[in-house]
Amino acid sequence: MDLTDLILLPVAFLGATVAAFWLSMVIWTFRDIRARTRDLPTQFLATLLVAVLNIPGLLIYLILRPRETLAEAYERALEEELILQSLEEIEQCPGCGRRVKAEFIVCPYCHTRLKQPCPRCQRPLRLEWSLCPYCGTALGAPVPSSTVSASARGHP
């Protein structure tokens, strides 16, 4: 074994290690950008940036990449929608399926009776309740959810 072979072996090992490291950076970048955007040109350019510029390209990518993944953005949007729905106290009409506010007694779209007013305190009560939780007044038999009659809507 001569001196050239002794130098060639560590250089080849070092070259293979650098190539494996470079390839792993390119693959990681491709997987990461796919989790962050659906835009194909952006995915291609980010991967190309790391493939061409190596470590400086990876640093540039880390600075410029979207801060959250698509899954994180979806979760955040779901959480925001849940918070908004709970703040608005919106219910759904059993008659037409449209959204109605919790304090509505009658659906403004299909005129389905949603709640009944308490005879004593006039607060809206669910039809299945037999007692007013606000003032304690006992109610009659629960009223079935049905369309309000013409006289209740103000028509003779």
pLDDT of residue 89: 63
C-alpha–C-alpha distance, residues 86 and 83, integer Å: 5
Q: For position 78, what pLDDT does the model report?
A: 95
Whole-prediction pTM value?
Answer: 0.55
Rounded distance between C-alpha atoms, residue 68 and residue 37, angstroms: 9
In 3D space, the residue among 120, 119, 95 whose CA is nearest the CA of residue 107 turns out to be 95
Query: CA end-to-end span of the chain, whole Å?
Result: 112
Spans of the chain, pLDDT less than 50: 142-143, 145-156
108-149 tens-digit pLDDT? 999 999 888 888 998 888 888 889 998 988 887 544 544 444
Rounded to whole angstroms, what are the CA distances from 42 to 48, 58, 64, 65, 66? 10, 14, 11, 10, 11
Structure tokens given for 113: 């009776």
Closest to 26 measured CA to CA, from 18, 37, 15 = 18
* Distance from C-alpha of 16 to C-alpha of 62, rounded to nearest angstrom: 25
Q: Are 112 and 145 in contact (CB under 8 A)?
A: yes
CB contact at 8 A, 123 and 112: no
Residue 143, pLDDT score: 47
Beta bridge partners of 131: 138
pLDDT of residue 104: 86
